[in-house]
């Protein structure tokens, strides 16, 4: 293991007491069952309370309330991981997140660095997004919703990091020494979860590749930091921009201030910006690493 990844040993300490792969597989099955059942009950209750078109609106996250509820439902993943870790490895949720005070400090430090980077990017000369942006929400409404929306995004990204860079990565690291395995496998699973050919069409593979690279960078930050704080901050910053500021119009746009003039499946328009976003992701990763060195 590279010397820079020695802090990761802290996260795997409790996992190493019960590192068997069957525990991970049974744990993932338990998480899948719990999340599926809780989502089924949650969304069935929500759909029953609304009009006929509410179900489609909820699944697409096309209104503020629909997207907030959709993001909050990711909390079921965190609950599932907490149950699986306790039952299969006798681990607590905080043992997956890392030492609490350090995780919080690193989260804040990395988020500050990314916000500064975001402000610098905003002040640079304007670049064409392939057409005029359309305002989705009135500015006053957007500002009033922003605290709740940001908290909902935090629930969503924390759940994904706890599952992929937390439970899966740490359990694999407790069993295998090679970062190729314990960074690569969770990143592949993360990419598979973002592969949506029905919605993205010809862009599906590129979006999955983007998710794979993001997973590797988040895994690297986790291994260097010894907590999930930096990875959650990176994921939070990315999703706040993509969901709350400038979103794609066909899905998860309910809380966006602006929407792009093209949708997920528009290969000609979206592909150049996915490549630009990939470059920016590397810049954000470097900024996060610099913040961790302070």
* 236-259 tens-digit pLDDT: 999 999 999 999 887 888 999 998
User: For residue 117, what are the CA distances in angstroms to 90, 114, 286?
Assistant: 40, 5, 11
Structure tokens at 118: 């975001």
* Contact between 16 and 65 (Cβ < 8 Å): no
Residues 200, 230: Cα–Cα separation, whole Å: 29
Q: How many domains does the chain have?
A: 1
Write down the pLDDT at residue 59.
79
Query: pTM of the predicted model, to two decimals?
Result: 0.94
Indicate the pLDDT class of residue 199, thresholds 50, 70 and 90: confident
Residues 272, 127: Cα–Cα separation, whole Å: 13
Indicate the pLDDT class of residue 104, thresholds 50, 70 and 90: very high
Indicate the burial class of 175 (C-beta count within 10 angstroms; 0-12, 13-18, 19 or more). Answer: middle
The parent domain of residue 115 ranges over: 3-293
For residue 105, is pLDDT > 70? yes
Angle at 191 between CA 160 and CA 189, to 5 degrees: 70
Residues 243, 36: Cα–Cα separation, whole Å: 24
Write down the pLDDT at residue 204.
82
Residue 45's CB: how many other CB atoms inside 10 A?
A: 9
* 25-72 tens-digit pLDDT: 999 999 999 999 999 999 888 888 777 777 777 878 889 999 999 999
């Amino acid at each position: 293991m590279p010397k820079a990844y020695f802090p990761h040993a802290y996260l795997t300490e409790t996992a190493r007491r019960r590192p068997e792969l069957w525990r991970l597989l049974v744990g993932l099955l338990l998480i899948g069952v719990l999340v599926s059942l809780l989502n089924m009950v949650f969304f069935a209750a929500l759909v029953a309370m609304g009009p006929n078109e509410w179900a489609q609106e909820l699944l697409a996250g096309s209104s503020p309330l629909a997207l907030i509820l959709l993001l909050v439902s990711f909390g079921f993943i965190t609950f599932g991981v907490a149950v699986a870790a306790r039952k299969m490895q006798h681990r607590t949720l905080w043992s997956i997140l890392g030492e609490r005070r350090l995780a919080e400090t690193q989260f804040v430090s990395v988020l500050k660095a990314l916000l500064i980077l975001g402000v610098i990017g905003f002040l640079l000369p304007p670049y064409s997004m392939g057409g005029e942006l359309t305002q989705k929400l009135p500015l006053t409404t957007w500002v009033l919703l922003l605290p709740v929306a940001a908290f909902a995004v935090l629930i969503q990204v924390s759940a994904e990091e706890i599952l992929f860079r937390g439970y899966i990565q740490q359990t694999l690291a407790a069993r295998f020494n090679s970062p190729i395995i314990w960074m690569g496998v969770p990143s592949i699973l993360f990419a598979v979860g973002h592969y949506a050919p029905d919605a993205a069409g010809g862009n599906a593979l590129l979006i999955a590749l983007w998710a794979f690279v993001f997973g590797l960078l988040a895994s690297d930050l986790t291994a260097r930091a010894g907590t999930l704080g930096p990875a959650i901050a990176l994921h939070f910053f990315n999703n706040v921009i993509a969901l709350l500021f400038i979103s794609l119009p066909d899905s998860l746009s309910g809380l966006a201030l602006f929407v792009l003039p093209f949708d997920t499946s528009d290969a000609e328009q979206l592909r150049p910006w996915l490549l630009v976003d990939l470059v920016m992701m590397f810049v954000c990763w470097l900024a996060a690493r610099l913040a961790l060195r302070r």
